[in-house]
């Protein structure tokens, strides 16, 4: 039976033990030195932490120096930036009215960097919150994402998105998650990403307008 010591124990020299069990929670934040330099791998993982991508950072997909235009000025294959009235409505990415337009695809592009706290090899997703406003398309409406790693030498990887396009033909906004293949994704990687609204409407009734209210990254992180 092990000996039990009641009260405090002060050791002025080295304490050597073949093994030592420290109760859970015994080492709290105050007990960790400010210069402890703890490795990220030993920190608790925060699963699917949310990193919003500002909609105003999206650009014209095939003319990156150009910012997205208003609905009336956007090109035929570009999503438009709808500013919204301050204090009343938020900014949105929208397709414009595509009623009776047949099959139409509208795009926007953004680049982002994998942050240093990303837990490599774990989950990283792109979440697009979208809907079709006023009237749903009589045929279909879908949201899609493609993404490539910039290799830093003028080249790109293969498409990193492992998820096919998702149905968004609904008047209510809903989240659509797209998973990235993380086997070669590392901290600091620069990702070139394009989102698309693919709509198909042949009716000539009321407005059919694809809309994106939020785009976010969801990733497992440490620290």
Amino acid 173: pLDDT = 98
Query: For residue 1, what pLDDT band results from cuts at 50, 70 and 90?
Result: low
pLDDT at 38: 83
pLDDT of 7 strictly over 80: no
Question: Does residue 129 have a pLDDT over 80?
Answer: yes
Confidence class for position 74, pLDDT limits 50, 70, 90: confident
Which residues share a beta bridge with 126?
178, 217
Q: Is the pLDDT of residue 2 over 70?
A: no
User: What's the chain's average pLDDT?
Assistant: 92
Identify the pLDDT of residue 175.
98
Whole-structure pTM value: 0.86
User: Which domains are delineated in the chain?
Assistant: 46-222 (2.60.120.260)
pLDDT tens-digit series, residues 19-70: 777 777 777 777 787 777 788 888 889 999 999 999 999 999 999 999 999 9
- Cα–Cα distance, 126 to 109 (Å, whole number): 13
Q: Which residues contact 103 (CB under 8 A, 6 or more apart)?
A: 198, 199, 200
188-220 per-position pLDDT tens digit: 999 999 999 999 999 878 999 999 999 999 999
- The pLDDT value given to residue 205: 84
Averaged pLDDT, 88-98? 96
> Which pLDDT score is estimated for 107?
98
Spatial neighbors of 7 by CB under 8 A, at least 6 apart, are: none
Residue 15 confidence (pLDDT)? 76
In this predicted structure, what is the pLDDT of residue 29?
75
Q: Does the pLDDT of residue 146 top 70, yes or no?
A: yes
| Tens digit of each residue's pLDDT (9 = 90 or more) over 151-175 | 999 999 999 999 999 999 999 999 9
Query: What pLDDT, on the 0 to 100 scale, is given for residue 197?
Result: 98
């Amino acid at each position: 039976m092990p000996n039990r010591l009641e009260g405090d124990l002060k050791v002025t020299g080295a304490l050597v033990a073949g093994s030592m069990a420290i109760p859970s929670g015994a080492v709290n934040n105050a007990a960790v030195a400010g210069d402890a330099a703890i490795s990220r791998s030993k920190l608790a993982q925060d699963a699917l932490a949310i990193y919003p991508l500002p909609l105003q950072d999206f650009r014209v997909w095939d003319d990156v120096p150009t910012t997205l235009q208003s609905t009336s000025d956007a090109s035929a294959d570009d999503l438009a930036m709808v500013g919204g009235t301050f204090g009343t409505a938020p900014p949105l990415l929208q397709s414009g009215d595509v009623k009776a337009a047949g099959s139409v695809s509208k795009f926007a592009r953004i680049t982002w960097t994998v942050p240093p706290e990303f837990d490599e090899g774990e989950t990283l997703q792109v979440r697009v919150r979208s809907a079709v406003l006023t009237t749903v398309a009589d045929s279909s409406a879908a949201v899609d994402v493609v993404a490539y790693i910039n290799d830093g030498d003028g080249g790109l990887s293969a498409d990193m998105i492992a998820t096919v396009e998702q149905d968004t033909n609904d008047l209510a906004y809903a989240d659509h998650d797209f998973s990235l293949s993380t086997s070669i994704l590392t901290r600091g990687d620069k990702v070139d990403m394009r989102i698309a609204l693919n709509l198909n409407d042949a009716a000539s009734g009321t407005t059919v307008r694809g809309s994106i209210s939020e785009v976010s990254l969801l990733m497992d992180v440490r620290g």
